[in-house]
Structure 1
């Protein structure tokens, strides 16, 4: 076991260190965090606009008016979430380089809109919301990275307008950003023109066909999902925040899949994906935190005889209800504890399999694309994530039972060890 752990540590630690220190992945993660409040706002109103049984209580006309009144809340946030992510990434990229962060967000957004195709509607051009959501997500991410880097490069080369002393600071900063932004946007305009002469016609079609579509198909599959879950658990075992590390890579894929389900949900069509952001966050991570340690807390209360576990249960219980599990991870402990390695790795994989096949067979609805806040307690979060369906809550209860059963013998062994040590200390 020690040899196995040493091999894992030698392999995983360098990878995790590189991922943690990669400024592109950091900007990507933080960019999504910038967009998260808006995404959650839109998700809340999707839930409110689709309250169960309300359509049976009020008239058809009143139901249509009710949904029409609340519809703009999600249309202005979830449907165009790509825009907020792009601004966040551009902002964070320039912030890392200690530049004028707001111009990083502005130039990223401008560059993306230049590359985004417009559909002629009469005499005016219209950008479909799909291009600002799931379909445009990967183009937006690449555009934000490149445009922010170009902007910073031009600033670093001093290609700026220096205003004389006495000019208001806001005016001076604006003129200072003029040339870098102009050069950056001009380059993206040239790229758009070049692609108009290719079979792809637009950069978005190119990115979607050659990169986004294959990656999304890969990320929506069960093997990639199991790999992601295992990596989250392994990184945590070695004291690294596995969820942040893995999400930095998978979030663009999971959010794109999530948005596809959301669009289908509000249009009343069949949901296309099982694996989405909420598949991971609600049915695996959202049951007490990474490793679904709410079941571990329940096990502690049921079998704990040692004072150590009893006190840990009191400390970790309230936090675990809201999916905060650092007390359990560091107090049990889970980090670098060979005794818990098996349940820590096995339980989430089993739950992922059960959840996947429950949704694949239609027993439980697929995630509806609604972003449920990560602190939402289990059972309620499952109900909301599946579009207010009771089977989402039932599945979370089943998952808790599964984790509890897998952890039971290992918790029993740990509790016996702690209890014997405590008894030995008291007899001295």
Structure 2
């Protein structure tokens, strides 16, 4: 009973974390960015294929310049898209107009983004519109949207007659909240200008983002986060939904920085540990489990669940296995469920350090990409070979535990038949 009470409390706590409006807005906004990331990633890959005749062709035909332009307006303007999407998602969670909130969030971000003078012309620094501006962009969207929602919900707005078209009425409704946001961010910009950093981007990058990235670049931090995902799954909590906001906040800019360096032709990329590293190098553990269940168990229940989950597992979908076996609150499978991603991440890190695997290039791989093909986009052919190695490692880890679980299930099935 005490264990059940503790389990209930843990579930309640994690449920609150999982349903937190701000974390959901961060996670949802970043996930909505996937089309932009994929387009930018593909353009980087196509422009950097190291094949001499191909490079000569795309250079002479102008394709390289077109691909570079696509990369620039997607990856190098990443912060702008993030600001709008997070503002949009957060406002919608409060049942307010997401489009207006997204627009106001962009205004707030622009106010605290420094301008530069070049040849008597004023321009925005593209440096702060890409990966360097992601952290400030996320914070700007959260703060600006919260101010917008607060003012709207306090009815500090301009009320228009019912005869005025809704589009016009909504615009006037957002006017006063937008003024509040502009005042707050104008003051913030002025205060940051008085510091030695000169602007919010430089200050927050030095004070917050650099220490966070230093902590995140530690492999042991990653191991803890990866293990936490599976521990939460053991208790029936969607671990990825809880941990992903942390991963995206800390590691996402590292992916973008790597992709920018890769697109520029750099041989050594800035980071080893990125979001794509964590997501792709956790190993094809669910596929390994599905294969063992399908072809190396005697229990009819396990065999059927394994074959049912084989195709989904091939595409990285684990729910049929997690709920069909079940793996939730299953003490026999808990150990390999936690060990396989941890071992995969550690082995992948070592493989990169010793030079067998290249550093992740920051390319975003869409959800649903076959497990053994995911590394091809981020690490090339060696990544696929290493993925097969990780598949074997995961199968070896799961083997004794599945065998013990199979014997238990056989006894249960025999008892039912008797």
Does the alignment reach a TM-score above 0.5? yes
* Distance in 2 between residues matched to 1:409 and 1:138, nearest whole Å: 44
Could you say which residue in structure 2 is the equivalent of 1:256?
253
d(CA) in 1 for partners of 2:36, 2:13? 32
CA contact (8 A) 1:49 1:71 kept: yes
Q: 1:48 aligns with which of 46, 49, 54?
A: 46
Partner of 2:15: 17
Partner of 2:297: 304
Query: Once superposed, which parts of structure 1, at least 4 consecutive aligned residues long, lie more than 6 Å away?
Result: 5-8
Given the alignment, which residue of 349, 355, 358 partners 2:342? Answer: 349
Separation of aligned partners in 1, 2:376 and 2:36: 21
Give the whole-Å Cα distance in 2 for the aligned partners of 1:346 and 1:61: 46
Contact 2:308 2:320 in 1 (8 A): yes
Deviation, 1:181, is: 0.5
| 8 A contact 1:35–1:84 mirrored in 2 | yes
Describe the superposition over 1:36-62 as per-residue Cα deviations: whole angstroms up to 9, x where unpaired: 222122223323333453x34563674
1:355–1:9: structure 2 CA closer, same or farther, 3 Å change rule?
farther
Matched residue SS, 2:131: coil
User: Quick one: structure 1 residues 132 and 12, their matched pair in 2 at CA, closer, same or farther if it must change by over 3 Å?
Assistant: farther
Question: Are the equivalent residues in 1 in contact too, given 2:192–2:200 (CA < 8 A)?
Answer: yes
Q: Quick check: 2:282–2:342 contact (8 Å CA) kept in 1?
A: no
- CA 173–320 in structure 1, closer or farther in 2 if over 3 Å, else same: same
Question: Quick check: 1:220–1:257 contact (8 Å CA) kept in 2?
Answer: no
Matched, 1:380 2:373: yes
State the shift of 1:33 in Å.
Answer: 2.1
Alpha-carbon offset, residue 11 of structure 1: 7.5
> Shift of the alpha carbon at 1:425?
3.4
Shift in alpha-carbon separation, 1:257–1:11, aligned structure 2, 3 A: farther
1:198/1:305 Cα in 2 relative to 1: closer, same or farther (>3 Å)? same
Q: Which runs of 5+ in 1 are unaligned?
A: none
CA shift, 1:267, in A, is: 1.1
Matched residues in 2 for 1:92 and 1:58: separation? 41
Contact 1:12–1:235, Cα closer than 8 Å, also in 2: no
1:180 alignment partner, one of 177, 181, 188: 177
How big is the shift at 1:74?
A: 2.3
Deviations 1:293-326 (A, max 9, x none): 1110111233122211221122101111111110
**SS where residue 117 of structure 2 aligns?**
strand
The aligned counterpart of 2:198 is: 201
3-state SS in 2 of match to 1:363? coil
Given the alignment, which residue of 390, 394, 398 partners 2:381?
A: 390
| Total equivalences in the alignment | 417
Work out whether 1:66 is the aligned partner of 2:57: no
The alpha-carbon deviation at position 184 of structure 1 amounts to 0.9
| 1-structure distance, mates of 2:89, 2:7 | 31
Given the alignment, which residue of 217, 224, 237 partners 2:214? 217
Q: Please say if residues 216 and 256 of structure 1, whose CA atoms lie closer than 8 Å, have aligned partners that are also in contact.
A: no
Cα 1:58–1:155 change in 2 (3 A) is: closer
Distance 1:227 1:8 in 2: 22
